[in-house]
Amino acid sequence: MATRDTDWDGVRLHVVTGKGGTGKTTVAGALALALAADGRNVLLMEVEGRQGIAQLFDVPPLPYAERRIAVGLGTDARPGGDVYALVADPESALIEYLEMFYGMRYAGTTLARLGIMDFATTIAPGLRDVLLTGKAAEAVRRKDGSRGRRYDAVVMDAPPTGRIGRFLNVTSDLSDLAKVGPIRGHADTVQKVIRSPETVVHFVTVLEEMPVQETLDGIAELASLGGIRPGGIFVNMTRPLALSNGQLQAASAGSLDQSLLALGLKSAGLDDSTTLVAQLAGELSQQARSILAHDEQQERLDETGRPCYRLPWISGGIDLAGLYRLAAALRAQRAA
Amino acid sequence: MTARPPALDVDALIADRRTRIIVCCGSGGVGKTTTAAAIGLRAAEQGRHVVVLTVDPARRLAQSMGLSSLDNTPRLVQGLSGAASDPQEGNDSASAGSLHAMMLDMKRTFDEIVEAHADPDRAAQILANPFYQSLSSSFAGTQEYMAMEKLGQLRRADEWDLIVVDTPPSRSALDFLDAPQRLARFLDGRLLRLLTTPAKVGGRAYLRVLNAGLGMVTGVLTKILGTSMLRDVQTFVSALDTMFGGFRERADYTYRLLRAPGTAFLVVAAPEPDALREASYFVERLDTEGMPLAGLLLNRVTQVPARHLSAARSLAAAEMLEAPASGGPDAPSGFEALAAREMSGRSVRTDEPAHPEEAARLLAVSALRLHAAHMEQAAAERRACEQFTAAHPLVPVAEIPAQPEDVHDLDGLRRIGNAFATGRRADASTGAA
């Protein structure tokens, strides 16, 4: 059924993490749109209660329910499928869990009102996580009569890099606490999904030292957990600068040939002042310095051997059009 | 022309000896930690005795202050200008300040509280409890609680006349206000006690009724968590109970400390809608809590010197220059071809231009496109900031210009601090070689 090869054929759960401020939610949204090309159905899931998806797609705040929020990226061959969104919170997931396995909906909602749910999810730190990852695992495995799986892919806007290992490695956290009991059994099932080849963890970063370091640390942490697969590195907000290597070096050193720049500006009808030339040279110089600094960071990422995808910086903030542009860029790079 | 917010004078804030605590808060990824360090350095170089408490394990920041790493003990930062870098040397200049830096180790801090308040046997018992181990290292809120606890300790130690603290990278910027109280409520909570002491319940009739209700509750909890979990919690709570007078009291102390005169909150935000929305919530929340807000620090503000050249005119000029080079209307222009190459992950460099005219054209196109992008960026930032100021017209604002490179040393931190000297209109020449 695959119409073209992508880097993640066979993957059904895309966990997207990244340092705060790198655009994790935006990339998760763009990835969902890209995966929903070719008539596929995708679930985009949020677990931190920020309503980031609603803001990104410019829809009203989302409930704990799967709602269709967008149409996937269309191609020449086929229109896009549907992108659904779900905002999962531990308390609702726990009530749903009690209902599903024990038929205890009434007891669950009553206890929730008494604050017991908060209590339970508070005293067992891993419990929150297992309920949220459990919901994702359930969505991945859910069947839909005629057409096999309900969703072709699930994209999770996951907690930031600093917490991703603990979030996904729920069994070990829980095993210290809930040694036996049904939640433990549930956790084990969830772990099978998380550690299967159907699940990968993508990292979103920008080419600055700290986010790159967190990405490297995150990949190393996953490796140490065993069986959780790192996915791609999504380098966000890149800004290409069309200079030759020599020009870039000169600009970064502040020794750009300003008369050459003046000549170029003049042929565009901008020969008003030498101040302008100096100011624009200053902008080029700063940008050249960042690009060279970014190149160093890119090299560190290259060393991981993970596929890197580059997402252009969208000026003036991300709107729906910008999101589809990013989705197209991801598809062009075979990330989806 | 929209109304300008009042200027936030950070220099005046740190020069005022009555300022004893500066709390830097804001959402993740806005540069809180670096900003806190820059404020600390600037204050120290102006003669204050400063300790910077960070929760972010940023090795680079430690290195930029000449420390191999940061830990739970304040370390002296060397190489300050106008300060006694080594107190033993006895720099007797009256204006000599000092800077210490430390990073919160939440488990260590929690362990220390236990060790300080319990006899050795009981302390060992608590430290070995699986529930305690989980609570002290991974409970959502422990980090916030311990950050505030550490702040209280530093304040009580009274060895520094200014404490600059950076708040944990929480899910929400408000967590550090709520989490300590939540943890304290939880640990002191009656629910926890009732659930974990079923053996003591019984005898009196009303307790038996209560017990029946509790039976259902514990039944559900056992279903969810298993029995050993509840037993661990029970032993932990009974051990803790006899130990010291309540977590809530400690949380209340830090809460009062945050409201005391001498504390100033600086909300740090990047000039973009999400971060400013968080900042807005935060400003409102501080107001509700009666906590002293000093102002908003806008970090990484795009600086564009050539403001009279608009984005539209700049783009039009770039397009005009690009047109003749393309091989026909369908061939992608140099820039688009480059963008396509950039997308495919290959090098962003173009070939070395063969002719000076080609070099001039390439330079001008890049400069104009870059300038247009900067102008658009600056306009978007301005819009985001105007929305904030429209909602909070009285909140003072200061800007820190975007730096072309990461901070690597004290000079880098100083450059950020210099923005405070020039007021809210940042030093435009910074970084432009």
User: Residue by residue, what is the 3-state secondary structure of A139-172?
Assistant: HHHCECHHHCECCCEEEEECCCHHHHHHHHCHHH
Output the pLDDT for position A219.
Answer: 96
What's the token pair of residue B345?
A: 């992950």
A6 part of a folded domain = no
Same structural domain, A63 and A205: yes
Same structural domain, A77 and A210: yes
* B128 touches A at CB < 8 Å: no
- What residues contact residue B204 under an 8 Å CB cut-off, 6+ apart? none
Query: Do the Cβ atoms of A264 and B138 come within 8 Å?
Result: no
In which band, very low, low, confident or very high, does the pLDDT at A133 lie, cut at 50, 70 and 90? very high
Same structural domain, A176 and A317: yes
Residue A266's H or E segment, with its range, is: helix A258-267
Nearest CB partner across the interface for A285, out of B233, B321, B432:
B432
Nearest-angstrom CA–CA distance, A24 and A22: 6
Same structural domain, A89 and A200: yes
Q: What is the CB neighbour count within 10 angstroms for residue A16?
A: 28
Chain B, nearest residue to A104 by Cα: B220
Same structural domain, A231 and A263: no
In which band, very low, low, confident or very high, does the pLDDT at B84 lie, cut at 50, 70 and 90? very low
Contact list in A for residue B350 (CB cut-off 8 A) is: 242-244
- CB-based contact A189:A137 (threshold 8 Å): yes
* CATH number of residue A111's parent domain: 3.40.50.300
Q: Is B415 helix (H, G, I), strand (E, B) or coil?
A: helix
Residues 213-272 of B with CB under 8 A from A: 216-217, 220-229, 232-233, 270, 272
What is the tally of structural domains in chain A?
2
A299 part of a folded domain = no
Same structural domain, A50 and A183: yes
Residue A205, pLDDT above cutoff 90: yes
Residues written for chain A: 336
Half-sphere exposure of B270 (CA within 13 A, CB side): 20
Output the pLDDT for position A103.
Answer: 72
ipTM of the prediction? 0.81
Output the pLDDT for position B231.
Answer: 72
- What residues contact residue A318 under an 8 Å CB cut-off, 6+ apart? A23, A26, A56, A326
Which amino acid is it at A269?
G
Residue A118's H or E segment, with its range, is: helix A116-123
Q: Is the sign of the CA dihedral A3, A5, A7, A12 positive or negative?
A: positive
A302 part of a folded domain = no
What's the token pair of residue B130?
A: 């699986």
Contact list in A for residue B373 (CB cut-off 8 A) is: 239, 313, 315
Same structural domain, A101 and A170: yes
Nearest CB partner across the interface for B364, out of A180, A182, A261:
A261
Contact list in B for residue A267 (CB cut-off 8 A) is: 321, 360-361, 364
Contact list in B for residue A48 (CB cut-off 8 A) is: 171
Nearest-angstrom CA–CA distance, B333 and B329: 9
List of E strands, chain A: 13-18, 42-46, 67-71, 82-87, 153-157, 199-205, 230-238, 308-312
* B6 touches A at CB < 8 Å: no
A117 part of a folded domain = yes
A308 part of a folded domain = no
Contact list in B for residue A184 (CB cut-off 8 A) is: 226
pTM score of the predicted model: 0.82
Average pLDDT rounded to a whole number, residues B79-94: 55
At what angle are helices A125-141 and A170-177 packed, to 10 degrees?
A: 130
Same structural domain, A181 and A235: yes
Least confident of A104-118, A196-210, B183-197: B183-197
The values of phi and psi at residue A16, to 5°, are -110, 120
In which band, very low, low, confident or very high, does the pLDDT at B199 lie, cut at 50, 70 and 90? very low
∠ CA(A151), CA(A153), CA(A154), 5° rounding?
A: 95
A303 part of a folded domain = no
Same structural domain, A232 and A249: no
Where does residue B202 fall: left (phi above 0), alpha (psi -120 to 50 degrees), or beta otherwise? left
Nearest CB partner across the interface for B339, out of A179, A240, A254:
A240
Nearest-angstrom CA–CA distance, A252 and A260: 16
Same structural domain, A69 and A192: yes
In which band, very low, low, confident or very high, does the pLDDT at B243 lie, cut at 50, 70 and 90? low
- CB-based contact B254:B152 (threshold 8 Å): yes
Q: What is the CA radius of gyration of chain B?
A: 28
Percent of chain A with pLDDT over 90: 56
Same structural domain, A281 and A191: no
Average pLDDT rounded to a whole number, residues A247-272: 90
Contact list in B for residue A329 (CB cut-off 8 A) is: 343
Query: Do the Cβ atoms of B373 and A254 come within 8 Å?
Result: no
Same structural domain, A220 and A270: no
Q: What is the pLDDT of residues A135-186, one digit of tens each?
A: 999 999 999 877 789 999 999 999 999 889 988 987 666 655 555 566 777 7
* B371 touches A at CB < 8 Å: yes
Longest Cα–Cα distance of chain B, Å, equals 99
Contact list in B for residue A50 (CB cut-off 8 A) is: 171-172
User: Which of B193, B220, B430 to mutate: most A Cβ within 10 Å?
Assistant: B220
Nearest-angstrom CA–CA distance, A314 and A299: 24
A192 part of a folded domain = yes
Residue A258, domain extent? 245-287
Nearest-angstrom CA–CA distance, B139 and B146: 11
User: Which of B69, B193, B236, B348 to mutate: most A Cβ within 10 Å?
Assistant: B348
A292 part of a folded domain = no
Query: Do the Cβ atoms of A269 and B320 come within 8 Å?
Result: yes
